[in-house]
Amino acid sequence: MKNYVKLPIVLSFFGLWISTFFSEESQVYIGFGLIFTFGILHGSNDLLIINKLDKKNSKINYFRPLFLYVLFISIILALNFLVPKSIFLLFILVSGFHFGEQHLQHLNLNSTKVIRYLFYMIYGLVVISMLLFLKKQIVHPIIIDLIHVFFQLSLFLYLFIFSATCFILMSIYFIITSKLKVQLLFTELFYLVILAVIFNHSSLIWGFTIYFVIWHSVPSMIHQIQYLYGSFTMFNFIMYCKSALIYWLIALIGLFVFYYLFKDLKMFNTLFFSFLSVVTFPHVFVIINMFNSIKKPS
């Protein structure tokens, strides 16, 4: 992971530069292509991680985590249609936590789990709210169509100011209580400025693609490969891809079936969000346990 620290910056500006050669429509297709490959791939090995976490694993027990995983996905899918507003809000909070947990793993934070998790979520909300605010004219009608609740554009600004303020205050708290180096705080603020530049100067999908693939999915895969195989090598990366292939294909087939059936309906927005949420929620819980296992081996 240490060798990857500065690479996202270079790749981000390269991605911003290369986008100037493509139309916005082309950026959408390329962006979704990258999200559907690296983005979905990084969450396709959850069952393999679960099996490693389960030290009592046996051929009989293998089907238990598979059953629970599918049950969890089914429940989330149903809730998307029953309580879409609540699930949308929960999705934003959980996604924020997941982004923050992945990005801030290198920080040695001496605190309770609740405070540490809150810090992760606040960081992720800074990233999400910054993207929403900078692309508010585009995302505003999409969210209204999704949750059927009208709200003012200023809400995006208030959310960003609130999350950014909380992030700075909690960073100061950790500087005092965990002896977190001040330069680490400025480094993270510098990264956020870079993301703001990327989001502001790119289309919505392309900016999100740069963050989701380069800043989140690839580092996540590196962490997962290190956990599953002991180290990150090209051979282990190939092994990781092979083990994820069947689940990755199932996810893609399901998404394309949704698109084929509902591409001309507004309902597709809801279905696409449902797809994102049903693959995100169980993945987040798996990664939480993976990081806890790394920090506290038994």
DSSP of 25-51: HHHHHHHHHHIIIIIHHTTTTHHHHHH
User: Has residue 298 got a pLDDT over 70?
Assistant: no
**pLDDT one-digit tens code per residue, 32-79:** 888 888 888 888 888 888 888 876 444 445 566 667 777 877 787 778
How many beta carbons lie within 10 A of that of residue 199, not counting itself? 23
pLDDT confidence of residue 76: 78
- CA 70 – CA 168 distance, rounded (Å): 39
Query: What DSSP element (H or E) covers 230?
Result: none
Structural domain for 148, as ranges: 2-295
pLDDT, the chain, mean: 84
Query: What DSSP element (H or E) covers 183?
Result: helix 182-200
**pLDDT one-digit tens code per residue, 106-160:** 887 878 889 999 999 999 999 999 999 999 998 888 888 777 788 899 999 999 9
Structural tokens at position 143: 């969210």
- Report the number of distinct structural domains present in the chain: 1
- CA 257 – CA 102 distance, rounded (Å): 31
- Judge whether 131 and 199 are in contact, CB under 8 Å: yes
Exposure string over 234-273, b if 16+ CB within 10 A, otherwise e: eeeeeebeeebeebbeebeeebeebeeeeeeeeeeebbeb
Nearest to 91 by CA among 81, 80, 101: 80
Structural tokens at position 30: 């390329």
Sign of the Cα pseudo-torsion (72, 40, 220, 142, in order): negative
How many beta carbons lie within 10 A of that of residue 133, not counting itself? 21
**pLDDT one-digit tens code per residue, 172-211:** 888 888 777 888 888 889 999 999 999 999 998 899 999 9
pLDDT confidence of residue 56: 47
pLDDT confidence of residue 274: 66
Structural tokens at position 226: 């290190």
- CA 10 – CA 191 distance, rounded (Å): 12
User: Has residue 85 got a pLDDT over 70?
Assistant: yes
pTM exceeds 0.85 for this model = yes
pLDDT confidence of residue 43: 83
User: Has residue 294 got a pLDDT over 60?
Assistant: yes
Nearest to 100 by CA among 115, 80, 85, 84: 115
- CA 34 – CA 31 distance, rounded (Å): 5
Q: What percent of the chain has pLDDT over 90?
A: 35
3-class secondary-structure state, position 241: helix
Nearest to 42 by CA among 258, 233, 214, 230: 214
pLDDT confidence of residue 264: 54
- CA 184 – CA 9 distance, rounded (Å): 16
Q: Which residue has the higher pLDDT, 298 or 47?
A: 47
